[in-house]
Structures are given as C-alpha cells and as structure tokens.
Amino acid sequence: MPSAKKAAEKRPKKEKAPAPPSDDSDDDGPEEEEEEEVESEHVRRKRERGRLAFLKLLRRGAALIPLAIVLSRQEFMKRPRGAGVNAAKVKPLDFALTGAVHFAAGSPTFMRNPKLHTYLNATGVALLTPGEYILAQQSKRAMPAEKTIAGAYKKAEKAFSRLVDRDKALIELVTAPQPNLLLIGSGLILAGVLLCPFIGGLFEYVTVVGCVVLMQGGRQLGMEAEPELYVAGGVAVLAIMAMEAMGKKSPPPKAKRR
C-alpha cells in the first residue's frame, strides 16, 4: 500500500490564477479617445469680431501717428553745418507745400483757372495751422489770443508766405533739377499720411515708399535721417501688418482630445 507521501506527489498541481493587469502595463491595443465639446459657432464668431475690431483700432491709431509727426513740421532729414557746407533740413510738409506752389506758378492749368491758386494757398495755410497751434500752446510768451485756432491760423498765413517766398535755402532745394528725390519723397509722405486715416490699404505703402525715397535723396546730399523718419515709416509698416492680419480668417478650432 503506497504511503501518504507518494499519494500526495501523484496529485495534479493546481495552476495559479493569472495576476490582474497592473495600471502601468503597456497595452498595444488602441486606446479609446474621448472628444471634448467643440467651441460653438456663436462663440467663434464673437471671438473673430473682437479680433477684427482690435486690429481695425490698431490700424487707425497707427495711421494718426505719422499724420501728427508731419503736421507738427518735424524734421525727417538734416545736414549740420560744416566746413564749406551749409546746414539743411527737410520737413516733408514744408517741402511739399513749397514744391506745389512753385509748380503751380508755371502750370498752364493754374494759369487758365486763377481760383486754383486760391484753393492751393488756403490748403497750405490749413495744413500749417496745427503746427502753429502746437507751438503756441508750448510757448510761454504767447498771448491768450494766439493760443486759439484763429490765432494759429493767422500765424500760419505768415508762415506759408515765408516758406514759399522768402526761405531761399528751402526754395533752392525744392527747385533742384528733376528727379528731385527730396521733393518726390516729401510729396508721397504728405499724401500718404493725409489719406491713410480715411482710405486704408494703399496709402500706408505710399508713406513707406515716400520715407525710403526721402532717405535716399537726403543721403545723396550728405544728410542724415532723423528718428521721426524711422518712426513714421515703422508705424506705417505696423499698420500694413494689421491690415494683412485683418484679411486672414482664423480657422475653426479642432476637437480637443484627452
């Protein structure tokens, strides 16, 4: 009769139950992905309108900065006095107005219609008025009557007459042989800054081109660019970038996964 020890050895061994899968085990099978709720169309349109409103405000604000610089008659190019060299400075507003008056003096169109001279002179005085008003506000010697718009307009009339008739250094530069890059650049800058706040999309480029032409013409005469020129050109470039961004629509957001 077999012993109890041998009988126990002949019994089949029980298989161990498989261990439960751990959380850290790698599973090659596809994981189930749950999609979050996509942004609603109403929210997306509202966000898009806010973005366009911000860019439009940025463009309009940027268009006013070069306008203020030009109307305040800031210098864009300057040549200091040196040995055998006279000092010279370029203010786009002064250059453009003086050039327009001297061009009109020999233009057949203005000769046939004398009223055009009156309109041109009135426009020049009106453009010089903001600069004279700013100077009167900053001056401590100015009388109260001179610090008004009417007082600034009267001073602008005298300044306009002095520019186009008595400023010999300016007239010499304006009447230089063509192509006169200083005059062309000043005209482009004045046209660009005046029309940018009303007509966007084209005249920002005109302002930038005018700054480049003016800088090139000034360097040919030994002039150096002033910070006002870089500010006006840089702000115009910023306005162009804002317009480019306004034309691009943001794509609808994709569904986020977790």
Q: Return the DSSP state at 22.
A: P
Please determine, for residue 204, whether its predicted confidence score (pLDDT) is greater than 70.
yes
pLDDT band at 213 (very low <50, low <70, confident <90, very high): very high
Contact 245, 55 (CB under 8 A): yes
Q: How far is it, in rounded angstroms, from Cα 64 to Cα 116?
A: 28
pLDDT band at 174 (very low <50, low <70, confident <90, very high): confident
Q: Is the dihedral of CA 202, 208, 211, 214 positive or negative?
A: negative
Q: What is the mean pLDDT of the chain?
A: 78
Residue ranges covered by each domain of the chain:
46-76+86-247
150 vs 35: which has the higher pLDDT? 150
C-alpha to C-alpha distances, 188 to 11, 121, 181, 195, nearest whole angstrom: 106, 19, 10, 11
Q: How far is it, in rounded angstroms, from Cα 210 to Cα 182?
A: 9
pLDDT in tens, 32-91: 455 555 566 667 677 777 777 777 777 778 888 989 999 988 889 888 877 767 778 888
